[in-house]
Structure formats: C-alpha cells, structure tokens
Amino acid sequence: MQTVTVLSNLGEEGVSYELDLTVLQTGFGLVQNLVEVVGCTQQTTDALGTLHVQMSEGLPMVCLPSHMLVFAKANFSSTSQVFYPHAKLVGTGVCGL
C-alpha cells in the first residue's frame, strides 16, 4: 500500500500554499484516484502522475489509493467516514499504527 503524508510546521496561522508532488515522489500512478483521509476529500493525480496538494492552517495531508478504502455516510450526520482495514494500516504510521 502506498501512503503519502505531508506535514507542515507553519501552524494554523501559516500561509496557504500548493505543493506539486511528482510520480517519483509519491509512487502513485497516472490519473489515480486517491482519498485524503484527514479532510475526507477525493484527489486525483494528473496525466503525468503529479499530485497537486493544497496545504493550509498547518493541517497534515494523508493520501491513500481510493480503491483501498470503503466509504460510509453516517445516518445521523452530514459527515462521511472512511474505513480502512486495520491490518493494512499497521506499520504505515497512519493513526499512530
């Protein structure tokens, strides 16, 4: 499993900025569907495999291939939840595993 995590030390008052991560930096494929699990948003690499990441408020960004995840919409709220098999997270650093 390929996981890409981007961290910032600018803090929540830091400026927003965009990073362009190449296929060599991420290992993701061309036009690959991804999920950013902190904000629960969908991302897609471009035709060259570049992942365009918008960073803001000091928040981290963690992207996983979307085919590895299962989405569920909570009946009692408007938020989405992302589920990922625990066994596949162990050793990745995601969620402290």
pLDDT (0 to 100) of residue 85: 54
pLDDT (0 to 100) of residue 12: 86
Q: Are 52 and 46 in contact (CB under 8 A)?
A: yes
pLDDT (0 to 100) of residue 92: 65
Higher-pLDDT residue of 56 and 68 is 56
| Dihedral class, residue 87 (left if φ above 0, else alpha if ψ from -120 to 50, else beta) | alpha
Domain 4-96 has CATH 2.60.40.1180: yes
pLDDT (0 to 100) of residue 3: 83
Q: What is the pLDDT of residues 11-59, one digit of tens each?
A: 888 889 999 999 999 999 999 988 888 887 888 999 999 999 999 888 8
- Spans of all domains in the chain: 4-96
Per-residue tokens: 40: 């629960």
